[in-house]
Structure 1
Amino acid sequence: MAETEQQQPDIDLSVVVPLLNEEHSLAKLAEKVEEALSESFRFELIFVDDGSTDHSWKEIEQLSQKCNWVHGIRFLRNYGKSTALQAGFERSRGRYVATMDADLQDDPFEIPEMIRMIKEEGYHLVSGWKKERHDPLSKTIPSRFFNKVTSWVTGIKLNDFNCGIKAYKREVIENIHLYGELHRYIPLLAKWEGYDKIGEKVVKHHSRKFGKTKFGLSRFMHGFLDLVSLVFVNNYLQRPMHFFGTIGVLLLVVGGIINLYLAIDKIVYGAILGDRPLLLLGVMLMVLGAQIFSIGFLGELFFKNRREHRDPNIKETV
């Protein structure tokens, strides 16, 4: 059994596990985590119950009563994996932080080697790679496509961005903030904060024993939309006029040239303009350009404001 918090308050490693309706997996997961980590680390295990409707929280309470190193956070409703991870990060106390899923598909015996890579090889974070997956094709094929595109867009050479098992230096998780579905892009968020030493380790992936996967087509689409949004916000958050202003001015210029041409045609040649579609196009381009330019101007006025986010409504902790 690992040393208790009272005996050894200095924590080497915090393991954060977000979960939703995984009551049958939690006791076995805690047992495996203790077996994998107790000899090498002073550790804590933080379960974040993201609004489960089964008996997951009851299991967490029972585990926390038996094991001083088990802690729990319970949300009043479902907020999503990113918010659950963020809550776990804020509760954690370890010099290093690891994350893993609660469905027993991730293997906690991979964590010590990932921490060694951070300590000895100088990585800021190490991400797992489920090279041999035990998932249905409906999940593996979209995931491979998603990872290829994400690696190409971000320039980060990882094969499995969405792998649940990862390890971090504490300073990394202290300098990023997760919301929405951004847990997929923690390596990218870390890179933008200057933590660009990102490693990857092939990890074991076990078949799901209990429950069912939460993966679906909507999550796949949300992932790509989040990537587009994230790249855009990073590039233009502090200079929105560079994006909107450029488009707006371009449309204004094109619309102005069209209308100038029509005005000359009217004045010099007496052309009738009322039935010419080009007039409508020129006016529409100028109006649209002015509107887009105004969006950029308003963005410049508010760029210092941070994105608003609601903190989760935590029901109880143990």
Structure 2
Amino acid sequence: MDKPEFTVLLPVLNEETAIEKLVREIFEKMSDDLDLRVVAINDGSDDRTPELLDQLAQEFEGLSIVHHPVRCGKSAALRTGANVARTIWVGTMDGDGQDDPADLLAMCREIDLTTVQETGLVGGVRRARTDGDSRKYASRFANGLRKSLLKDDCPDTACGLKVLPRRLFLSFPFFDALHRYLPAFTKHFGFETRYVTVENRPRDGGESKYTNFGRAVAGLFDLTGVIWLMRRTKTPGRAFVADQIMSENRS
């Protein structure tokens, strides 16, 4: 039986200590079960990350590299990767090594990668976060506020591991923090969401790209904007969107 096609979108910024090990781990843990592609998006790195990615692309046939000349942010990087990908479903994961590719593979098994039906997103829920108590508390507060206002029922929207149809992602209104609201927009477009418990490993070097204060301030503005966008974005329903995704894939 042919293996289902799947693309991993891997946004990367200054991850020279982690990226080679992670790319090798993705292909090692996922390629036996999937017809696998990886699109790594270098989002304006100024360390050795671009050089390492280009070297890895010479070794792995399924690896494509896109270089942003300047930093555009994680959501923009994911959108670039989704435009490059050609599979029905794509998965997202962070480039710092905290996400385990084995968990992404387990999430793929929750759905049929050859079609789009009721489920529009499979998200990861981290079992035990490794980035400190202050970030855990900040994330818990942000999750509670977002869930109460958007009714997205997502227990861990900041987890980098998500699986969703490529064309559905590209149908969402685009803004800088879209990656944090994928569950909310999935439900707004009429699809179901489901969640899988995943591991959260220590960072494999490098530094976090966000601070608690900066995330909180931006998050309040983003949340207000998302509420407005949802009120102004009308969708024809899940069945129509799913049919469009499948017809575009067949063409």
Q: Within 5 A, what are the aligned runs for 1:35-46?
A: 35-46=28-39
Is the counterpart of residue 211 in structure 1 residue 212 in structure 2?
A: no
Is the counterpart of residue 173 in structure 1 residue 169 in structure 2?
A: yes
Is the counterpart of residue 115 in structure 1 residue 131 in structure 2?
A: no
1-side partners of 2:129 and 2:38: how far apart? 25
Is the counterpart of residue 227 in structure 1 residue 223 in structure 2?
A: yes
Compare CA radii of gyration and give the structure with the larger one.
1
The offset of 1:142, in angstroms, is 0.4
2-side partners of 1:84 and 1:93: how far apart? 16
- Aligned partner of 1:48 in structure 2 is 41
Local SS of the residue matching 1:124: strand
Does structure 2 retain, via aligned residues, the 8 Å contact 1:124–1:169? yes
Does structure 2 retain, via aligned residues, the 8 Å contact 1:52–1:78? yes
Q: Which has the higher helix share?
A: 1
Local SS of the residue matching 1:208: coil
How big is each residue's C-alpha offset from its partner over 1:99-128, in whole Å with a ceiling of 9 and x where there is no partner? 000000001001222111122995211110
The offset of 1:213, in angstroms, is 1.1
Does structure 2 retain, via aligned residues, the 8 Å contact 1:133–1:140? yes
- Aligned partner of 1:138 in structure 2 is 134
Note closer, same or farther for the CA distance 1:237–1:126 as it changes in structure 2 (3 Å cut). closer
Identical pairs, percent: 29
Amino acid at match of 2:201: H
Q: Which residue of 80, 83, 86 corresponds with 2:73? A: 80
Q: Which residue of 151, 155, 158 corresponds with 1:155? A: 151
Does structure 2 retain, via aligned residues, the 8 Å contact 1:18–1:101? yes
Amino acid at match of 1:200: Y
The offset of 1:180, in angstroms, is 1.2
How big is each residue's C-alpha offset from its partner over 1:220-244, in whole Å with a ceiling of 9 and x where there is no partner? 2212210111102322478xxxxxx
How big is each residue's C-alpha offset from its partner over 1:285-315, in whole Å with a ceiling of 9 and x where there is no partner? xxxxxxxxxxxxxxxxxxxxxxxxxxxxxxx
Q: Which has the higher strand share?
A: 2
- Aligned partner of 1:15 in structure 2 is 8
The offset of 1:170, in angstroms, is 3.3
The offset of 1:11, in angstroms, is 6.9
The offset of 1:172, in angstroms, is 2.1
Does structure 2 retain, via aligned residues, the 8 Å contact 1:128–1:164? yes
- Aligned partner of 2:237 in structure 1 is none
By relative contact order (CA 8 Å, sep 6+), the higher-ranking structure is 2
Does structure 2 retain, via aligned residues, the 8 Å contact 1:11–1:95? no
Does structure 1 retain, via aligned residues, the 8 Å contact 2:122–2:194? yes
How big is each residue's C-alpha offset from its partner over 1:124-176, in whole Å with a ceiling of 9 and x where there is no partner? 11110113111112211101110111111111211101110111133422422
RMSD over aligned CA atoms reads: 2.0
* Structure 1 stretches of at least 4 aligned residues deviating more than 4 Å after TM superposition: none
Q: Within 5 A, what are the aligned runs for 1:1-318?
A: 12-119=5-112, 122-195=118-191, 197-216=192-211, 217-236=213-232
What TM-score does the superposition give when structure 1 sets the normalisation length?
0.68
What TM-score does the superposition give when structure 2 sets the normalisation length?
0.86
1-side partners of 2:47 and 2:121: how far apart? 33
1-side partners of 2:16 and 2:66: how far apart? 15
Note closer, same or farther for the CA distance 1:237–1:105 as it changes in structure 2 (3 Å cut). closer
1-side partners of 2:230 and 2:169: how far apart? 18
Q: How many residues align?
A: 229
1-side partners of 2:25 and 2:39: how far apart? 14
2-side partners of 1:109 and 1:178: how far apart? 29
Uncovered stretches (5+) of structure 2, i.e. residues with no partner: 235-251
